[in-house]
Structure formats: C-alpha cells, structure tokens
C-alpha cells in the first residue's frame, strides 16, 4: 500500500487555468496542513492559495515530497519538469504523481531517485501484491460512498464525512481508492489499476479488521450500474463489507459519463442494486443517507432539491459543500 511522506510541495507547473491544477488545488483544500507551499512556473494560471516557494526554500521548510498537482499539456512531461524533479530528489524529496505518464519511466529522474535513495510514487500504479478476497466478516465498521454515475462526488462526500465524523468525536479513517484521493490521504490503493481477481482482496487489505468503534470511510468508484466500470465497483463493494452506504447523485446530470445518451439511473434502482451487491458479504448493509452534488445549481434550487429528495426517500439528504454531513453523521453515531 502506498505511503507518501508529508509535507508536500505542490507543483502546479504552467497550468493554463484553475481546472488544470485541480489535483493540487484539491489537496490544498483538504490537507492544507500537509503543504508547505506551491511551486509555479512562469505563466501559471492556477493557484492553490499557498505560499510560492522555490525548491530550495521548500526543502529548508521541511518538504518531503514534490507532488505533481497539475496535468501535462500534450500528454508529455517536458525537459524543464524533469530537471526540476531531479533537483527535488537531490534536495531530499520524494516525488508523487497522478499523471498518466509514469514519472518512474523517465530515465534521468529514475536514475536520480536511485542515486539519492529517494522514492517515486506513480499513484496510478499499484504497489505490492494483493490477496484474493475471502468475504470473511471482520471487526470494525465501514461506510462506503456509492453513486448513480462515476465522477459525481463520491470522493468529496467521503472526505467531508471523514472530516465531520472526526469533528464529532468519532474514530474514523478515510480510505482512498483513486489517485487524487490517495494524494490527499497520503496512502491508499488505486483500484482501477488492480487486476480484477484481486480487487476485493485489495479492499480487504485497505480496510482491515479494526476496533469495534472505528469507522473506515471508504472512497467509492463508479457505480455497479455503469456498463464500463462496474467491474471495479462490484469488487469494491464486496471487499468493503460496508455497514452503511451513502448514495451520491447529481440531480442535473441527464446522461452517464462516457456513454452518450444513456440516462443516469434513478436513485431508487441504484440503491437497490448496491444494497443487493453489498449484502453478499454483509447481510446488514444498507443505504443510510443521500448526498446530492448541487454544484451547478443556485442556492434556492439546490436547497429545494435536497428537501424534495429527503421527503421522497425518507432518509437524511445533504450536499456536503452546502450543508455539511451532520445529518448522516448522526445516523452513523447510532449504528
């Protein structure tokens, strides 16, 4: 399992807008206390709201990892970036990246890492060997975020739940299953890169037996009703053995991501599908709340939709960015 050293120096490169630096910006939002600053090249239009530092300044302030928080124009890591990475390794930093291009495949960077005894974390590449899932019940409690589609807010909901559970005095740990979540958490397993036979076992390893009052907050992936990505989701749901699930939905999304005109399935049928899957390894599993992603709606419309959904399904309904997760945390406290 990945273990990334903190604190981070967030590298935003020459990102042409805020969205191009979304990984770094997201890490600064959720884990600001893990960041010593940001490094931006001339022309960079992204800003994580951190102090601008050079590599040398960051090293003096204790940075342990240069974290690549931006995308690469044209899909290739240019020479200037490679020189910067080599210097970071020389200064004692590791490198962590969620890019499609593997930093570890760059000869100069790989050789420098070996020379200076530093680590390169390409977080889209799983590390270590994973067992086959057993489905054997284990101690501790787990809440899993699931959804009606992929890229809909499951990670954000999980992080918000983890934050609000801890604020409420609960014993909780966020368990990351995707590259951005791993970079925010500092550890995790990129499930979409695990060989299919071992996905459930990898999740069992990610959230093992724990104290009876401990909650693992497991980051969801895709949905069991997505024809392209359900294979990962089914393994995740069974391996997590969730006691509770939180259904994530975007009310204004008409079609499933990457599937043309295929409509997003309804909340009710998605709840039924995920509960059926989860109950194979935990017969008591149930959806205990709904998280709506209303980021593209105005305040009035969003709050009205939250109220309608809560009334329709008779369960706590939130938008973590607008309302916080208190209503769902209260349910978890009683479980």
The pLDDT tens digits of the residues spanning 154-171 come to 999 999 999 999 999 999
Q: What is the pLDDT averaged over residues 50-79?
A: 89
Cis peptide leading into residue 7 (ω within 30°): yes
* 225/245 Cα distance (integer angstroms): 16
Under 8 Å CB-to-CB from 105, ≥6 apart: which residues?
none
Model confidence at 74: pLDDT above 60: no
Q: Which residues pair with 215 in a beta bridge?
A: 141, 172
Secondary structure class of 101 (helix, strand, coil): coil
Q: Quick one: which H or E segment has residue 188?
A: strand 187-188
Please tell me the predicted confidence (pLDDT) of residue 315.
97
> What is the SS3 assignment for 184?
helix
Residue keyed to tokens 């995707």: 178
Specify the pLDDT at position 185. Answer: 87
State how far Cα 157 lies from the chain centre.
10
Q: Six-digit token pair at 218?
A: 């497991």
Distances (CA, A) of 205 to 175, 217, 247: 11, 14, 24
Pick from 208, 196, 192: which is nearest to 136 by CA?
Answer: 208
Confidence of residue 111 (pLDDT cuts 50, 70, 90): very high
Sole residue written with tokens 């962590």: 96
pLDDT band with cut points at 50, 70 and 90 for residue 73: low
Q: Where are the alpha helices (DSSP H) in the chain?
A: 22-30, 55-60, 79-90, 107-115, 154-167, 179-185, 199-206, 230-240, 267-278, 299-313, 326-333
Mean pLDDT along residues 248-267: 95
Asked whether the beta carbons of 332 and 170 are under 8 A apart, the reply is: yes
pLDDT of 97 above 80:
yes
- Give me the torsion for CA of 71, 73, 74, 76, rounded to 10°: -60
Is the confidence at residue 71, as pLDDT, over 90?
no
DSSP 10: E
Q: Are 307 and 318 in contact (CB under 8 A)?
A: no
Average pLDDT, integer, range 230-252: 97
Does residue 237 register a pLDDT over 60? yes
Longest Cα–Cα distance of the chain, Å, equals 61
Query: How many residues are given for the chain?
Result: 335
With vertex at residue 33, the alpha carbon angle to CA 164 and CA 299, rounded to the nearest 5 degrees, is: 45
Nearest in space to 25 (alpha carbons), one of 43, 45, 6, 7? 45
Report the pLDDT value the prediction gives residue 287, as an integer from 0 to 100: 98
Which residues face 10 on adjacent strands?
A: 38, 67
Q: Are 33 and 63 in contact (CB under 8 A)?
A: no
């Amino acid at each position: 399992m990945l273990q990334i050293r903190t604190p981070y120096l967030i590298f935003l490169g020459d990102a042409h807008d805020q969205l191009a630096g979304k990984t770094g910006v997201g890490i600064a939002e959720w884990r600001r206390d893990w960041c010593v600053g940001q490094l931006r090249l001339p022309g960079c239009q992204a800003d994580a709201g951190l102090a601008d530092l050079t590599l040398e300044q960051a090293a003096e302030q204790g940075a342990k990892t240069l974290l690549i928080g931006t995308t690469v124009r044209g899909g290739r890591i240019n020479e200037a970036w490679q020189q910067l990475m080599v210097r970071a390794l020389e200064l004692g930093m590791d490198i962590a990246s969620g890019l499609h291009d593997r930093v570890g495949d760059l000869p100069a960077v790989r050789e420098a890492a070996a020379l200076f005894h530093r680590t390169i974390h390409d977080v889209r590449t799983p590390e270590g060997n994973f067992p086959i899932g057993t489905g054997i019940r284990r101690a501790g409690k787990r809440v899993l975020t699931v959804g009606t589609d992929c890229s809909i807010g499951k990670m954000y909901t999980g992080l918000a739940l983890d934050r609000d559970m801890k604020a409420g005095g609960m014993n909780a740990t966020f368990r990351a299953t995707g590259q951005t979540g791993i970079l925010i958490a500092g550890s995790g397993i990129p499930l979409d890169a695990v060989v299919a036979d071992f996905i459930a076992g990898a999740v069992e390893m990610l959230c093992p037996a724990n104290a009876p009052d401990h909650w693992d907050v497991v980051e969801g992936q895709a949905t069991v009703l997505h024809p392209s990505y359900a294979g990962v989701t089914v393994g995740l749901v069974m391996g997590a053995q969730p006691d509770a699930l939180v259904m994530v939905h975007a009310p204004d999304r008409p079609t499933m991501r990457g599937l043309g005109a295929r409509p997003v399935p309804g909340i009710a049928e998605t709840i039924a599908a995920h509960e059926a899957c989860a109950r194979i390894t935990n017969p008591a599993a149930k959806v205990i709340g709904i998280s709506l992603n209303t980021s593209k709606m105005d305040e009035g419309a969003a709050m009205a939709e939250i109220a309608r959904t809560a009334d329709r399904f008779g369960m706590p309904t939130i938008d973590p960015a607008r309302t916080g997760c208190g209503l769902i945390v209260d349910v978890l406290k009683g479980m």
